[in-house]
């Protein structure tokens, strides 16, 4: 079984047979670009609150996460590598989201089904190395109309009087790059229980 934070292996992506061979590696390269930018931000601002173990945004999603086909292939590998009991909990959580979404009954804040609570931690991602781009960019990137971050980030920026020092990533460029590479994004619930779902 792969370790929870092991890097995805593009040669082992489940379902890769139905994708062009170069698609998943291209998405992984996009992920690496995101990581470089987020690392530069945290190195320039040691007080930046987005760190492993926070999980605040993971408990307060605005909707069911959306991701492209290749992103799903990467994430699916991470889910499939979990211990059976953890994988079952994740799939149960995704199934519950699917049911709530079908009934139009999603809560105001959606909790990510891949968020696990650990002893002494507020929460951690079970599939951190395999998480989609939206998870990687949140807290560090912005759209034209707003910053994609929570109040913790905005409060930290204000308390350090750093409004003019932060260089935000361009989230729209990431979305466009993913769509060009891997097609349109779809809800996690559609991927998980579609023909290419977790076996």
| Parallel, antiparallel or unpaired: strands 141-142 and 169-170 | parallel
- State the pLDDT at residue 14: 39
For the segment 173-189, the average pLDDT, to the nearest whole number, is: 95
Task: Give the per-residue pLDDT at 121.
Answer: 52
pLDDT for the residue 159: 94
Residues 162 and 3 sit within 8 Å (Cβ to Cβ): no
pLDDT value of position 12: 41
Cα 119 to Cα 3, 26, 122: the distances in Å are 18, 36, 8
pLDDT digit string, tens, across residues 134-147: 999 999 998 877 78
Do residues 34 and 136 lie in contact, with contact meaning Cβ atoms separated by under 8 Å?
Answer: yes
Residue 74 CA: distances (Å) to CA of 11, 54, 68, 159, 166: 11, 23, 10, 37, 30
Q: What is the mean pLDDT of the chain?
A: 86
Q: Among 183, 199, 135, which residue's Cα sits nearest to residue 24?
A: 183
- Asked if residue 104 lies in contact with residue 132, where contact means CB atoms within 8 angstroms, the answer is no
Contact 91, 198 (CB under 8 A): yes
182-to-78, 99, 139 alpha-carbon distances in Å? 18, 27, 24
Mean pLDDT of 44-50: 92
pLDDT for res 134: 93
Q: What is the pLDDT of residue 55?
A: 80
pLDDT of residue 11: 43
pTM for the predicted model, two decimal places? 0.83
Say how far apart CA 146 and CA 149 lie, in whole Å.
9
């Amino acid at each position: 079984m792969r370790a929870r934070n092991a890097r995805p292996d593009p040669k082992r992506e489940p379902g890769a047979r139905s994708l062009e061979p170069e698609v998943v590696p291209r998405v992984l390269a996009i992920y690496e670009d995101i990581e470089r930018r987020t690392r530069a931000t945290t190195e320039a601002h040691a007080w930046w609150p987005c760190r492993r173990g926070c999980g605040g945004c993971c408990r307060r999603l605005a909707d069911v996460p959306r991701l492209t086909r290749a992103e799903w292939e990467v994430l699916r590998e991470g889910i499939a590598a979990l211990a059976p009991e953890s994988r079952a909990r994740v799939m149960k959580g995704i199934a519950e989201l699917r049911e709530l979404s079908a009934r139009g009954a999603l809560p105001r804040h959606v909790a990510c089904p891949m968020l696990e609570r650990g002893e002494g931690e507020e929460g951690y991602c079970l599939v951190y190395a395999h998480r989609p781009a939206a998870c990687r960019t949140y807290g560090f990137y912005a759209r034209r109309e707003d910053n994609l971050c929570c109040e913790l980030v905005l409060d930290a920026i204000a308390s350090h009087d750093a409004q003019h020092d932060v260089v935000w990533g361009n989230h729209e460029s990431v979305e466009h790059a993913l769509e060009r590479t891997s097609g349109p994004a779809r809800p996690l619930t559609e991927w998980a229980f579609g023909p290419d779902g977790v076996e």
